[in-house]
Amino acid sequence: MQLTCSPRHIGTLYLACLLATLLPSAASHAADAPAPIAWTAAQIEAAGVRTQQPGAAAAQGGAGLVLQGQVELPPQATELLSSPLAGVVQQVLVAPGQRVKAGEVVARLTSPELLTWQRELLQAQTQARLAASKLARDEQLHAEGIIPGLRLQDSRAAHEQAQLAVRERRQALQALGLSGGALQAQLPLRAAATGTVLELTALPGQRLDAGMPVARIARSGQLALALQATPEQAGRLRVGDTLSVAGCKSPARLAAITPQMNSANQSVQLRADFTSQEDCLRLQQFVEVTVQPRPAKAGASALSVPVQAVVRQGGKAYVFVRSSQGFMPTAVQLGPQAGGAWPVAGGLKAGDEVAVSGIAALKGAWLGLGGEGQ
């Protein structure tokens, strides 16, 4: 049915009637063949239109977010140096806060049990030599037909048992950092990796049982950042995001987004790993990090536009691209929205200028409503 507007329709009724008449035909024309919007610079200024070039799609997600937190020591970066044998602490060679190298002696322990282990190795070596000598003799006697094969088998089994005992006792001493040799009652306790002494739990003259702790050492180059984010911020992040740390050249990596909330402030708890030898952070230090853009995936969109730059018409998405005559409504293919922007899969090229404000006026002019930019 054709709608006819009459002068009898006055005021807002006449305007509504006019819009109802124009919109269907204008929308159909715009969807079929978008025409350029010929606006002068003065009209563009009057309509409040501002433009910007499409951004890089890598800036999606949480890029630019600033988060705060605290430096912590992860459990895997803590080394507990303990006494492998019972004994008495004779000497402590380090102090809390001191840096130590891998293999550096932290303390010395006097242990009678160590003498027992060394004596057992020497005895096992002696038994192994006797078993080897007996096996060589029995092999010769068996070859001459003097002894039966069963006796030779017994000699071989005894020799294997003696060799096994030597290996067992030698490996036990090697685990303590000793190679055997001369008897000694003093055992050096060494740091397994380079790090910083956090705590000393043993003092000279103290008697220790096997397994009692001597020192706690923080391995160098392994720290954790306990961060907080709002639920909205956490939704824009993903594990693996790169974080720049204020005061540090090396970045951190987002390692976990915990599922629970902090009951005190309703924030989401995050954990980032900082693995670097750079000496820029201290335990319990408050830090500020900035989320870095994600690298674009192969085949992914390289451009993005703000959400407010996109209009819908005829089931399609359009943006207004600046041209020499004014603006051209341009159909675009969009990816999934993220972080207040649309990734553009097609329809734009690098260097295009897209309107990001004054969109309602541009759409009205495109559909033939109102004056030209007025």
- All domains in the chain, ordered by first residue: 27-60+299-366 (2.40.420.20), 66-76+220-291 (2.40.30.170), 113-184 (1.10.287)
The model's confidence at residue 189, banded by pLDDT at 50, 70 and 90, is: very high
Return the pLDDT at 11.
45
Return the pLDDT at 56.
61
Q: Locate 151 and state its tokens.
A: 């006796």
Query: What is the residue-averaged pLDDT of the chain?
Result: 84
Q: Locate 123 and state its tokens.
A: 């005895």
| pLDDT at 9 > cutoff 60 | no
The model's confidence at residue 19, banded by pLDDT at 50, 70 and 90, is: very low
Q: Which of 14-23, 133-142, 234-243 has the lowest mean pLDDT?
A: 14-23
Which residues, 6+ apart, have CB-to-CB distance to 357 below 8 Å? 48, 49, 50, 308
Which residues, 6+ apart, have CB-to-CB distance to 345 below 8 Å? 301, 332, 333, 334, 335
